[in-house]
Structure 1
C-alpha cells in the first residue's frame, strides 16, 4: 500500500470519527423539557426548546427536567391526633418544576424530600386536631399542607399547586363506633321525620274540620238570610196584592147589589168556620159594612156588644 493511500485512509477515519462526535453531540429539546448542562463539572446553561450541540468530553447533560405538572401519590402515613388516636392517612401532591437549575442542584432526591416533608407536615397539623375535627377538616388540612410545602420547596425549584388528603383510616374499633353512631343518628332523624309528618297530618286534618264547620255555619247563615228575605218578599207581595185589590174595588165603585152579594159570600164563609155565634144585622143592606167586624169576631172568638 502506498503512503498516499494510508494517509487518505487515516484522514477518512478521522473525519468519520469527528462526524460521529458531532452527530452524537446533537440534542433536540422538546416543548415540555429542559436540559441542565454542565461544562467541566460546573453548571453551564439550561437548554430550552430547539436543537443544541453538546461539546464532546467537555459538556454533559446533568438532568432532563419535565415542565409538566406531576402527581405523586404517597403511601399512607401513621398519624396521631390530639386525642391520641392513631390513624392512617395518605396524600396526593400536585407539583410542577419552575426552575430546572434549582431542581437539579437544590436537593439530592426531590421526590423523596417532598414525601418526607409531606409526612412530617401532616403529623404536625393533625397533632393539633382531634379525631372528629380531622375527619371534617380536609379543606383546612389541604390548605395548610399546600402552603407549607410550597414555601419549603421554593428553594428546590418546585411549585406545589395542590395537596389532597385521599384517605383517612381510623382504627377498626373507632370505625365500628362511628358506624353505630351514624346508624343511631339516621334512626333518630327518621323518627323525627315520622313524628313531624304525623303532627302535620293531624294539623291539616284539624284545619280541614275547622274550615268545614266554618263553611257549614256560613251556609246555614246564608240560608236563613235567604229564607227571611223570601218570606219578607212574600209578605210584601201579599200586602201589595191586598192594597191593589182594595184600590181596584174603590176604582170599580160597586153598587149596593154587588155589596149584598159579597156580604152573602162572607156570611157563607163564616158559617163554614169554627165560630159559635154569628151576628146578623137587621138590615141586610148594611151587611157589607159589617163584614170586617164579623171577621174579627170569628178570629178572636169573642161576642161583640150589640148596639
Structure 2
C-alpha cells in the first residue's frame, strides 16, 4: 500500500512538472499565437512569456505581424478595345487581427490572390490599351482601396498594390516600337532644326555686332581725325595770330624788310620754289634775284 502511494505521488509530481512545462509558451518579437480552449477561441498570445492550461488549451495558429509581400503570377486581361495583355501585380499587406485572420477565411492569402485577379480584370476591362499603359498610379490606387476594404473581414491590412509589368501582344509591341522610333526621329529632327536656327541667328547677330563695331570704330576714327585737324588749324591760326601781334608790336625798318625779301628771293632762286609770280618790273626783280642768289650761296 505504501509503495502504491509512493508511485502515485511520483506520477502526480511528474504530471505536474510536465504540465507546467507545456503550460509555458514563449512568443518571439512581432509574432502571435491563437489559442483555443476545447475547440473554442480563447485568446491571442503576443510576444513574451505566456501561460496556457495544458491538455485543455491548444495553439491552432502561429504567425507574425510583419508586412508580407505577395508576388502573384501574371494575369491574362482583355482591355476595352479587345487587346489581350498580361499583368503582373505585387501586394504588400499585414496581419492586424489574428482572430479574423484564422477564422475569417479558410485561406486568407489565397482569397486575397483571387480577389486581386478578378478586381484587376474588372478595372482594366474598362480601360483601353493606351490608358492601361499610362494610368498605373490610378489603377494601383483603386486596387489598393478595393482589396483593403474587402480584406478587413479577414484580419488583413492592404498597404499598397503595385503593377510590375504590363505586357501587350507581340504585334502591338512592334507597332509601339515603330511609333517610338518615329517619335525619337521626329524629336531629333526638331532639335537639329532648332540648333541650325539658333546657329543662324547667332551668326547673323555676330555679323551685325561686328558691322556695328566696325562702323563705330570708323566713326570714332573720323571724329579723332577731324578733332586733330581742328586742333591743328586752331594751333596754326593761333601761331599766325601771335606772329601778327609780334610784327605789329615790333619796329621793322627798311633794311630788315629788304633782307627778308632777299632771303625769300634766294629760296626762289635756289630752284626749290613751286610757285613763281612774275611782277611787272621783271628787270629789277632779276637783278635783285641775282644778288639774292649770290648772298644765299655765300650763306651756305
Q: Which bin holds the TM-score, normalised by the shorter protein?
A: 0.7 to 0.9
Q: Residue 67 of structure 2 corresponds to which residue in structure 1? A: 69
Q: Residue 81 of structure 2 corresponds to which residue in structure 1? A: 83
Out of 175, 178, 184, the residue aligned to residue 176 of structure 2 is 178
Q: Residue 44 of structure 1 corresponds to which residue in structure 2? A: 42
Q: Residue 219 of structure 1 corresponds to which residue in structure 2? A: 217
Q: Residue 278 of structure 1 corresponds to which residue in structure 2? A: 279
Secondary structure of 1:57's counterpart equals: coil
- How many aligned residue pairs are there? 282
| Pair 1:196 & 2:194 matched | yes
Secondary structure of 1:83's counterpart equals: coil
**1:11 CA drift (Å):** 2.5
**1:166 CA drift (Å):** 0.9
CA RMSD of aligned residues (A): 2.2
The residue correspondences of 1:16-31 to structure 2 (distance < 5 A) are 16-31=14-29
Q: Residue 258 of structure 2 corresponds to which residue in structure 1? A: 260
| Pair 1:125 & 2:126 matched | no
Q: Residue 291 of structure 1 corresponds to which residue in structure 2? A: none
TM-score, L = length of structure 2: 0.87
Q: Residue 250 of structure 1 corresponds to which residue in structure 2? A: 248
Q: Residue 288 of structure 1 corresponds to which residue in structure 2? A: none
Gaps of 5+ in 2: 286-300
Secondary structure of 1:108's counterpart equals: coil
Q: Which is worse superposed, 271-280 or 190-199?
A: 271-280
**1:273 CA drift (Å):** 5.2
Q: Hey, what's the Cα distance between the residues in 1 that align with 2:274 and 2:30?
A: 128
Gaps of 5+ in 1: 285-307
**1:280 CA drift (Å):** 4.5
**1:253 CA drift (Å):** 1.5
Out of 34, 47, 53, the residue aligned to residue 55 of structure 1 is 53
**1:192 CA drift (Å):** 1.5
Secondary structure of 2:73's counterpart equals: coil
Secondary structure of 2:26's counterpart equals: strand
Q: Hey, what's the Cα distance between the residues in 2 that align with 1:273 and 1:142?
A: 107
